[in-house]
Amino acid sequence: MSFDRTIKIAPSILSADFANFGQEIQAIEAQGADWVHVDVMDGHFVPNLTFGPAMCKAIRPHIKTVMDVHLMIAPVDPYIEAFAEAGADVITAHIEAGPHIHRTLQAIRANGAKAGVALNPGTPASAVEYLLDMVDLICVMTVNPGFGGQKFIHSQVEKVKELSRMIGSRPIHIEIDGGIDPTTAPLMADAGADVLVAGSAVFKGGSVSAPEVYGQNIRAIREAASGVYA
């Protein structure tokens, strides 16, 4: 998994057809998805319950790009090894999910995955200032985590700008999760983000029998985000 700052679209399979994950993943990758984003929720840290390591292991053979696993769970440390063994390329834990984020990030890397840290909307950019030598990705939540389809929180644009300045030339991805569509994507790309997670904005109107719609949606987000550099 090489590093670059080009715009990457990471469809969230939380918005896919749960009964058809394998074909859905193949469809979005064929239509231009750069990463596949897996939202893991525990019904405790966030008010929803989604996927576990077994499901991640089951879909791993279908993913040819990057398996980006976002752990919205607490505690997180006891489950890192299982998600790494399931094939996660990137494992992201929330800074709010436990008292020892350094230990969490060390465990992710020790298990062979890239280490990500996520920030809820109310958590300031300064919270990761002393973690920059330990992370490969910072995920900025632009909605409160727990459900797809929420409204984008615009105050997070300034947070991303601050993170971008803080990161400088370090090889750290800035990922945005929540409310991304062709309207909000350019705001975040302009602020310094390079990985855009999109659920409903990618999957709306499409299906495995009409995958070209996924491609149209992905291109619309990418072109909107890339337009800030035109």
Positions marked active-site: 39, 177
Asked whether the CA dihedral 65, 52, 83, 181 is positive or negative, the reply is: positive
H or E element that contains 10: strand 8-11
Give the separation between CA 150 and CA 213, rounded to whole angstroms. 21
Give the separation between CA 25 and CA 11, rounded to whole angstroms. 9
Quick one: tokens of 192? 């310094």
H or E element that contains 114: strand 114-119
Local structure of residue 179 (DSSP, 8 states):
S
